Amino acid sequence: MIIKRFDRQEELDQYAAHLITNIVREKEQPVLGLATGSTPVGIYKAIIEEASRTRLSFGHVTTYNLDEYVGLAPNHEQSYSYYMNEHLFRHLDFQPGKTHLPDGLAADPEAECKRYDEMLANHPLDVQLLGVGHNGHIGFNEPDAELHGGTHVVRLKEETRTANARFFDRAEEVPEFAFTMGVGSILKSKMIILVARGADKADIIKKALQGPITTACPASLLQTHANVIVLLDAEAGRELSEDGTRIQMVHS
């Protein structure tokens, strides 16, 4: 695991963007695992800037998002489908048929999970971009006694609904359920980029990266992956000790 701590947000964003555009440049059929939330917004902006500047095409890129709210249509402003279009897809030449999210309106949720897993099995992820929830969730894999390997429907914890209420007009509008890729699928990605910003993420980053590996903190399972790069701002990284043998700390 490599951990990089950045003093400036723009540097973090450009670094993450570059890791992803390198894959887009190098691979014949790149497959990107994408995330939502406030954390990746600047990274998507940096990808758009770099791609526009270097005339990099995304026409050959396939994407899979981590999650989607159950019950929200793709054109609902708080759906992750809408978010991805707004923050990334519509700015570059992504092919509509190649950008995938679980269908929040699927009539048969179980069949939808199976469909998503089959697509993922046929298109192994080259990279998975991840944020982390305050309780250690990745995607919408909430802390629990057991975690799921594949795509499933999860009942969101109240703390997660409260944290995400800031994106909705009223807290009650935050859906109770969501589709999420499972931790098994996340860990199958060839490379994982975990990003966290802000003092409010410092405790969970410490637990996830230097605490015990436990389903009580799904992000801690990332410690078992051979190719994880963690990008933090100074605040999110402030609780980490630099003497861990499994960690390479780089300051910029």
Catalytic-residue membership of 123: no
Other Cβ atoms less than 10 A from the Cβ of 208: the count is: 24
Between CA 185 and CA 38 the distance in angstroms is 22
Regarding 128 and contact with ligand GLP (CB under 6 A), the answer is no
Count of CB atoms situated within 10 Å of the CB of 240? 19
- Minimum Å distance from CB 57 to ligand GLP? 27
* Chain residues 136-155 in contact with ligand GLP, contact rule CB under 6 A: 139-140
Beta carbons of 216 and 223 less than 8 angstroms apart: no
**Which among 12-20, 50-58, 132-140, 183-191 is the span making contact with ligand GLP, rule CB under 6 A?**
132-140
141 is catalytic: no
Applying CB under 6 A, which of residues 37, 102, 104, 143 lies at the interface with ligand GLP? 37
Work out how close the CB of 215 gets to ligand GLP at its nearest, in angstroms, rounded to a whole number. Answer: 17
Q: How many CB atoms lie within 10 A of CB 127?
A: 23
Instruction: Tell the smallest beta-carbon distance from residue 163 to ligand GLP (Å).
Output: 7
d(CA 171, CA 231): 30
Q: Does the active-site annotation cover 137? A: yes
Bridge partners (DSSP) of residue 231 are: 4, 195
Query: With binding defined as CB under 6 A, does residue 66 bind ligand GLP?
Result: yes
Enter the tokens of residue 170.
Answer: 């009223």
At which residue do the structure tokens 């793709």 appear? Answer: 74
Span of 13-21, 25-33, 37-45, 84-92 interacting with ligand GLP by CB under 6 A: 37-45
Catalytic residues: 67, 135, 137, 142
